[in-house]
Amino acid sequence: MDKFTRLANSILKENISIQEESNDLMVGLQSGRSFGDFLRSLTGKTVKDVLDSASYSRLYVGNKFGMTSAANDESNPEVLLSNFLTKLGDFVNKDVMNYRPKLAETEEFKKNYGYNEYLEQEKERRQLFIDFIKAKEGPEKDALRRKKNAFRNTSEYAEAMRLQNKKEDAAVEKFHNTPIKQGELVNDGSQEFEDLEKMYNQIQSMRKGVKIEDNENDLDPKVQKIVDTLKVASKFGSMEDTRKLTKAQKQLTNTMASGMQKLNSELKTNLDQI
């Protein structure tokens, strides 16, 4: 998760701190900073920076918690931070459609560039695919495969659509890579902004007070065995260790209901290295 750590740290520096020894993104929002202060700290970053941080945070949470209820538990600072980054990405990217108006899908564009011819050729493409699926293995199917792979819609609309989409892609890329200006991210009165501010304040609150009771010496023996496996596997990076770690995580999920409170401290120390 080094790349995720670097990106998230870059986006949230002075607001989010990284626990170096475990590469774990920990909630460390500085007290006294308002949400407005935080948004102003993003000046000079790009929309792409924020979107990349959100993507890697989702990957981090997904890899760590899998398809379990823990992946949606915002009482966990990591999950809350991941959701915050995702919503922040949506907020800073809200104007993207100004650069991708999808003109090729408008009726005027279709009328100007002979959309009906395009539809006829697409019908030919679909029939070619059906013929290929139905054909038995052999020379005939091989010939159909080559024909299918080489097919290109050459209608006027298809060519104009490709050019238009390429133009819009370039505009979006430029938008995503343009540095955020001072005063660009402000309260626009939207529900999205209000939700973001609430999440930010929740992260601040977590930073100010949450302590996890240390019960590592009072773990159920069955749970302790799983935790010990996690300790060993998390120190190495081989495929075999990864398989052991995945298996241990699955076992841990099955025993988590009865041992959650006791496991919390131990997991923070050892599982976070993944």
Which token pair is 229? 């496996």
Please give the pLDDT value at position 16.
39
Please give the pLDDT value at position 81.
86
Residues belonging to the chain: 274
Q: How far apart are CA 12 and CA 201, in angstroms?
A: 15
Please give the pLDDT value at position 164.
98
Place of tokens 């981090």: 60
Please give the pLDDT value at position 218.
41
DSSP result, 117-155: HHHHHHHHHHHHHHHHHHSPTTHHHHHHHHHHHH----S
Please give the pLDDT value at position 79.
87
Segments of the chain with pLDDT less than 50: 1-2, 4-5, 11-29, 210-220, 223, 233-239, 256-274
Q: How far apart are CA 39 and CA 45, in angstroms?
A: 11
Q: How far apart are CA 39 and CA 91, in angstroms?
A: 11
Which token pair is 257? 């209901």
